[in-house]
Chain A
C-alpha cells in the first residue's frame, strides 16, 4: 500500500466572486495525524469541506488511495473509507445514543429494507455498544442523544463516524465549544484513534495540536502557507508573522 492516502492537486473553491481557496496541492501520509491550522478566514473549513466531499472543488483533483474522487456524492464517502465529524455537532437528537450509532452502522448493510424488523439486523446493536465504549459514553446508551452534554455529543458523533470503520477520519474543529476538561479527553481520544488510522483534523487553536500532530498544514488567505513537522512550523518565520498579534485562544 502506498504511504500517501490522500492528495489534493491544485484544489480551489470560489463562491461567486469570492475566492475562498486558491489551488492547494498537498499530500497526506497514511497512518499519520495531520492538522490543518490557520487563523480565522484562512480557508480551513472550505478545504475540509472539499476533501470531505461536502461540495466539489471549482478546480483541481482529489485523489484517495490512487483513485480520483473529485465530485463523488457525499453519501458514497462512507463506503470509500472516509468518515467525518462536523464543526457543528450533528447527531440525531430525538433518538437514543445507541440507535444513533446503530443507524450509522446500518448504512453499510441495509438502506431500503422496509419489511424486516430493524432489530433483526444481526450484530449491529453489539457493534454500536462497542463503539460507545471506545469513545467512552456507553453509560448513556439509552438516553436521547439531544440530552447529552456538548462534549458527549461530540464523542457520539465520532462513534458514528467510526461506524464505517474508515481508513481516513476527518475531524473539523473537534474541540470547538468544549470546556478544558472535555477538550483534554477529546484530545486523548483523538490520539488513541490516530494510532489505528489516518486522521486529518482542522483546528483553530494552534497550541492544541502542536503536541499531538505528526504533520501540520498552515493555511492563510486561502493559500498553503507552510507544511511540515510541528518543529518546522514552530521555527517558520512566516507562520510566526501570521499568528503574531493574533491572540491565542
Chain B
C-alpha cells in the first residue's frame, strides 16, 4: 500500500515536472547547442531518435527505458561526434556521416544494446531476488523452530488462544490435583 502510494506520488512528480524540465533543457541545452554546435546537434537529434521513441513509449513514470537505452544510444553517437570534432566540425561533414549507413547502424545498434539491457536485466534481478527471499524464509523458519524449542508451542499462540490454553491447562492441573 505504502509502496503504491509512493510510486503514484513519484509519478505525479515526474509528470508535473516533466514539461518544465523539457523546456529548460530545450532553452539551455538544445537551443544553444543548435546555434553554436549545429553539426553535433544534428547528429544527436538524428542519433537519439531511439531514445526519444523509448521515452515516448515507456509508460513507467520513472522512465527507465530511455534511461537504459539513452546511455548506450549516446555511446553509439559519440565516436562520430568525436570524429567530427577532431577533423571538421561542419554541417556538411555531419550530413556526410549521416549519409553513411554504418553511422546509422552503429548509433541505432548501440540503442538496440540498450534495449537488450532493458529486457534482459529485470528477469535476472527477479531471479536473484527470489533466491535471496527463499534463503531468508529458510532462515526465519530456523529461527521459528528455535523459538518454539526454547519457549514451547504456546509462543505461537495469539493472545486469545494463549489465555484459553492457560485456562485449560489450569483446569487440567486443578483436576489432577483434586484426583
A binds B: no
